[in-house]
Amino acid sequence: MIEIRDSINEIARKHFGIEYVFPFQRLVISNILRAADIEGFEIEKSFEEELSPEQIVLLPTGAGKSLCFMIPAFFFKGITLVIFPLLSLLSDQQRRTEEAQLKSVIIRGGQSSSERKEIFHQCRSGKVKMILSNPETLLNDEILNEIKILNISHLVIDETHTVSEWGDSFRPAYLEIHKIISAIKIPLITAFTATASPHILKRVKEIIFPGKTPNIIYGNPDRSNISYSVIHSLNPTRTLTNLTETVRKPLIIFSSSRTGTELTARLLRKNNQSNKVFFYHAGLHKEEKDKIENWFFNSNDGILVATCAYGLGIDKKSIRTVIHIDPPPTVESYLQESGRAGRDRAPSKAILIFNPLANEKLRLINDPLSKERYKSMISYAENKQDCRRETLLALLDSKPEICSGCDICDKNIITEKYNFEILKIIGKNKRRFTKTDFIYFLKGFLNREIQSQQLNTIDGFGILSEWNTDSIREMISILISIGQLNIPRRGFWKNYLSCGKQNLKQIERET
């Protein structure tokens, strides 16, 4: 019997503890090794023109993209240079390379000259197989000059969708990655991402591969083990608090702002009376980030409230639920962040809490492209008829074979319908309530004004008695913000609530 040696699976088994790589991983790895002319992976001359040394690889979150550039690093005599968008990814990736006995170094801002000197000494000695960095650091002339004289075999750009999503907004260094490519003169380049719409793919080609035609390897971005749902809510704080008590953990809650993460984490600590809730964002000191990352990585029941600064390639496999309290700016962002769940392929949930203020935010976006992309997320959230999974994937020119779980296909749509009852009360009792009195009325509190005006005799008194006053106040504020309730700030009826005209007509029709 002839034994056929499989060097890719041998490395996967020895260094990563897995018996075999998946077919799509093997395709990517083999293409890299063939393009590098590694012995044993040579390609026939007649096919050379079809094999480009540049690749764009689209594989779903949790599909093992890192293996696709870590395994080839064992075959190269030189160094693999990997560009990541976030500092948190650098330390997480270094942890994984060390576990695989693949020597790596991190080059980042804030390092002393002596630290850098030692790092480059190790690189020149041949001990280092992988350099992990970010574009801002690599564009430093002093660092780029050192990189240029190293033996770089392969350039990897991870989470490549950020080239377009961030480069055109707050990370201009991404638009200059071509300077790094030109400086090190390396033809073997692989760009990885989990999601890319046609627009992002076009932009990536323009920025990283101008004038070239890279191979594009598509993997279906569908994560069949994740069930998607949207909860329409006028009191997102209460909805979130209730969800955190019932959904499976570990749990990540994504917020669009640093302030939002801090306020939400503190609120959940108070409401849930739990010390297993922490927040994470880019404004934290490195020591704080490391401490929280380590805590959450090892937690079986923790809740982490985070901005997009946490996530992407960080490899915590057992996250069971991801909740968004704000719609992300793009479908790509949503799939990336919701894809933090279930990297171990076990059943998991992705929930978006949606309130009408998202439409107000849409009106404030001036850039046409950003507006259009955010509008796609609003459409996804407002849809109550079409499969969530199909809707998401269609926006990426893809589709699932079958929906393996969403609130629409499962006929489990949750819409909190308190607004009509509240509008009906105000519509029938125009200008009888101030905002404060109405909150007390809904809660069922008898303050002096409610008693003196006999407001407690009106139908609806105490209908939200189980809610706390902050949740009721939040809902009333949202109804005012979106124009369903009016509250004049001047004039004879100053501070007294009334209904918007359209809502009043609806109430008249339905009562």
pLDDT of residue 227: 95
Helix axes 23-35, 65-73, angle to 10 degrees: 40
Structure tokens at 41: 């992976």
Looking at the fold, whether 155 and 274 belong to one and the same domain comes out as no
Residue 249 inside a domain? The answer is: yes
Domain match, 59 and 95 both = yes
Residue 258 in domain: yes
CA distance 278 to 284: 12
Is residue 112 pLDDT above 60, yes or no? yes
In a domain, 255, yes or no: yes
2 domain-assigned: no
Spatial distance between the Cα atoms of 93 and 130, rounded to a whole number of angstroms: 10
Which residue type occupies 375? K
Q: Are residues 104 and 85 in the same domain?
A: yes
Q: Which domain holds residue 190?
A: 7-218
At 478-508, the pLDDT tens digits run 888 888 888 888 777 888 888 866 665 555 5
Give the residue carrying structure tokens 């805590």: 295
Domain end point (choices 157, 185, 218) = 218
CA atoms within 13 A on the CB side of 331: 28
Predicted local confidence at residue 80, as pLDDT: 96
Q: In the listed set 415, 435, 452, which residue is the last one of a domain according to the structure?
A: 415
- Same domain for 468 and 405, yes or no, is no
pLDDT in tens, 308-364: 878 655 678 899 999 999 898 888 889 888 988 998 889 999 999 998 888 778 888
Give the CA distances from residue 66 to residues 25, 87, 319, in Å, rounded to whole numbers and listed in that order.
10, 16, 19
Are 463 and 476 part of one and the same domain? yes
Place of tokens 């005209």: 501
Per-residue pLDDT band at 432 (split at 50, 70, 90): confident
Domain check: are 193 and 265 in the same one?
Answer: no
Burial of 370 (0-12, 13-18, 19+ CB in 10 A): middle
Q: Residue 167: what pLDDT?
A: 54
Report pLDDT for 506.
57
Q: 496: domain CATH number?
A: 1.10.10.10
Report strand pairing: 277-280 vs 498-499. unpaired
Do residue 239 and residue 103 come from a single domain? no
Of the pLDDT bands very low, low, confident and very high (cuts 50, 70, 90), residue 166 is: low
Averaged pLDDT score across all residues of the chain = 84
Here the CATH number for the domain that contains residue 333 is: 3.40.50.300
The verdict on 268 and 147 lying in the same domain is no
Q: Count the domains in the chain.
A: 3
Q: What pLDDT shows up at residue 509? A: 54
Model confidence at 47, pLDDT cuts 50, 70, 90, reads: very low
Same domain flag for 233 and 89: no
Is residue 491 assigned to a domain? yes
pLDDT in tens, 171-205: 777 788 888 888 888 889 999 887 767 777 888 88
- Same domain, yes or no: 211 and 231: no
Say if CB 67 and CB 228 are below 8 A apart. Answer: no
- 272 found inside a domain: yes
Nearest residue to 243 (alpha-carbon basis) of 307, 323, 299, 342: 323
* Contacts (Cβ under 8 Å, ≥6 apart) of 237: 267, 470, 471, 474
Per the model's pLDDT, the better-predicted residue between 249 and 25 turns out to be 249
Q: Average pLDDT for residues 447-452, to the nearest whole number?
A: 79
Single out the residue of 219, 221, 217, 220 nearest to residue 54, CA to CA: 217
- Strands 79-83, 130-133: pairing is parallel
- Is residue 1 in a domain? no
Share of the chain above pLDDT 90, in %: 30
Asked whether the predicted pLDDT for residue 277 surpasses 90, the reply is yes
Is residue 36 situated within a structural domain? yes
Question: What are the beta bridge partners of residue 215?
Answer: 55
Q: Domain end: 218, 243, 258, which one?
A: 218
Per the structure block, which two tokens stand in for 348? 């998991």
Q: What is the mean pLDDT of residues 277-292?
A: 89
Do residues 410 and 430 both lie within one domain?
A: no
Whether 98 and 205 map to the same domain: the answer is yes
DSSP per position, 283-343: TS-HHHHHHHHHHHHT-SS-EEEE-TTS-TT---TT--EEEESS--SSHHHHHHHHTTTTT
